[in-house]
Amino acid sequence: MVDHLLASLTCHTNGYKQKRNHLEMAVKHRMYAEERQQEILRRARANGRVDVVTLAEEFAVTTETIRRDLTALERSGVLRRVHGGAIPVERLGFEPALSTRDNVMTAEKERIAKAALAELPDDGSIIIDAGSTTRRLVQVLPLDRELTVIVNSPPLATALAARPNLSVIMLGGRIRPRTLATVDDMAMQPLAQFHVDVAFMATNGCSVAKGLTTPDPAEATIKRAMVRAAERCVLLADHTKFTNTYLARFAEVSEIDVVISDTGLSDEIAAELQAAGPTVVRA
């Protein structure tokens, strides 16, 4: 009788502990959804694909939770849902729209832009490339510095034109709807005649082996001309750009003087970049 009661008590106790453990795990996974999504993205980029069932087992969550994670990552423009899982957009050669990229890594991009202010000349001329991180630089440019600013983005030109301390040159050409950057000969021809103090560049991908890359060859051509027109080049790129490679290369890492990224950039990648030439800043 006593043995039966002890067994019953143990069973109830174990059941309570199991329910408590499941509850604690559920709370933990709700609290750390963003971290889980970042790990899913890392695995997708490393392996080329992630599988819903496998992820659910490894993270000890339901397949519905994983599907919600994948949906959130797809809305951020970094993954594309496929049957049973997802693949990174760079594997498709897919380029997220500027509006999508503008809502990703916002805090990191703002820190990068503020750090880039240290690279501004006291006066003179600069190029600001079209991009979601370089847009933040436009927003924080100081009001007390006389600069000539060359841009290839109508939205950036509009924002800068209202500033009385700046002389703004807008490069003409065809506007790419996905990035709102001007490309082709009408943008290229003026760049061949310019020599600026600093070019603040954006990129879709960067590695020492493959250089700075972007999906569109026409945009790569403009970026290449910008790099050549500048005395110094500063790359503004959050840490996710250093795991991607795209179709068209526009510069070698050795052509960049300063790389400004965020604290998510690993020590290993930072050391590799610095060994290739540029100073690396993690904001």
How would DSSP label each residue in 152-210? Answer: S-HHHHHHHHT-TTEEEEE--SEEETTTTEEESHHHHHHHTT--EEEEEE--SEEETTT
Contact status, residue 253 vs residue 211, Cβ threshold 8 Å: yes
Beta strand extents in the chain (DSSP E only): 50-51, 79-82, 85-88, 124-128, 147-151, 166-170, 174-176, 181-183, 196-201, 205-207, 211-214, 230-236, 248-251, 258-261, 279-282
**CB under 8 Å to 134, separation ≥6 — which residues?**
113, 128, 156, 200, 201, 202, 236
Put simply, whether the predicted model's pTM sits higher than 0.85 gets the answer: no
pLDDT at 5: 45
Cβ-based neighbour number of residue 93 at 10 Å: 10
pLDDT at 62: 93
- How far is residue 167 from each of residues 67, 125, 193, 199, measured CA to CA in Å? 49, 9, 17, 16
- Can you tell me whether residue 230 is helix, strand or coil? strand
Q: Comparing C-alpha atoms, which of 152, 159, 204, 149 is closest to residue 175?
A: 152
**CB under 8 Å to 147, separation ≥6 — which residues?**
120, 121, 123, 124, 125, 126, 141, 165, 166, 167
- pLDDT tens, N- to C-terminus, the chain (283 residues): 545 444 454 555 455 455 445 444 544 444 478 889 989 988 887 787 899 999 999 999 999 999 999 988 887 777 888 889 998 876 655 555 555 555 567 899 999 999 999 999 999 999 999 999 999 999 999 998 999 999 999 999 999 999 999 999 999 999 998 889 999 999 999 999 999 999 999 999 999 999 999 989 999 999 999 999 999 999 999 998 897 788 899 999 999 999 999 999 999 999 999 999 999 999 9
CA distance 117 to 110: 11
**CB under 8 Å to 47, separation ≥6 — which residues?**
none
Q: Identify any residues that bridge with 79 across adjacent strands, giving them in sequence order.
A: 88
pLDDT at 63: 94
pLDDT at 24: 47
Domains of the chain in start order, with CATH, are 2-92 (1.10.10.10), 99-282 (3.40.50.1360)
Cβ-based neighbour number of residue 275 at 10 Å: 11
